[in-house]
Amino acid sequence: MLKVDAEPFTFAFEPASTALVVIDMQRDFIEPGGFGETLGNDVSHMQRAIAPTQHLLRLFRQKEWPVIHTRECHAADLSDCPPAKRDRGNPSMRIGDDGPMGRILVRGEPGAEIVAECAPIDGEIVIDKPGKGAFYATSLGADLERLQIRSLVFAGVTTEVCVQTTMREANDRGFECLLIEEATESYFPEFKAATLDMIRAQGGIVGWTAPLKSFASAIDE
């Protein structure tokens, strides 16, 4: 059993039943010209999560612990994208429109791919999800059951939407969830801060949060 100095208290996990889940580190959300920027967001905030996520990936790969990546994207005919999602707000481009990196958030398009720095390697699971949470309409639950996973370490974007949604889904399914603080970001720093507070509130109502250094130290001990 390894122990991480975390909030609201120590996070303990068994390496044999732990996986890293990297949420939506996609070009459309992180790079200039992608969907995130068409919504009027400053994508430089998101880029702060790249190096810490790379570090976290290295730690898991060195230990040969399971890694799962997710991508929020849709079928080319948008049959899995409800109008309520596509038509919301007033972006300069919508899901399925042609953008600088191909059709926005469409499976197989360049913008829907994971940034090169955090790209999956052979043997890592990649989940394409049509919603915010990674359990909805995906194989994630079955994959975790097959791997006999009970604890999940999280990284990715955005903190308050897809990351938190997936953590809440996982929490409801009985998983112990730890979010690595530097390895997640939001277009709105205040939203990230509020989400971290919500996750660890009331004795860890959703889960735990910890700095990357604390997690790395626990592995090295």
Task: Kindly report the three-state secondary structure assignment for every residue of 35-98.
Answer: HHHHCCCCCHHHHCCHHHHHHHHHHHHHHCCCEEEEEECECCCCCCCCHHHHCCCCCCCCCCCE
**Torsion sign over Cα 203, 18, 143, 86:** positive
Q: Which helix (H) or strand (E) holds 146?
A: helix 140-147
Q: Which residues are catalytic?
A: 24, 129, 162
pLDDT of residue 92: 81
Residue segments in the chain with a per-residue pLDDT below the cut of 50: none
- How many CB atoms are closer than 10 A to CB 89? 8
Task: List pLDDT tens digits, range 17-55.
Answer: 999 999 999 999 999 988 898 888 999 999 999 999 999
β partners of residue 42: none
8 Å CB contact between 31 and 101 = yes
Place of tokens 């090295």: 220
Q: Given this model, what pLDDT does residue 27 score?
A: 97
The pLDDT of residue 170: 98
| pLDDT in the model for residue 69 | 98
CA-to-CA distance for 97 and 26, rounded, in angstroms? 17
User: C-alpha dihedral over 93, 98, 100, 104, to 10 degrees?
Assistant: 70
Predicted local confidence at residue 221, as pLDDT: 64
Dihedral angle sign, alpha carbons of residues 33, 36, 41, 46: negative
Give the Cβ contact number of residue 172 at 10 Å: 10
Q: Would you state the pLDDT for residue 79?
A: 97
pLDDT, residue 191, reads 98
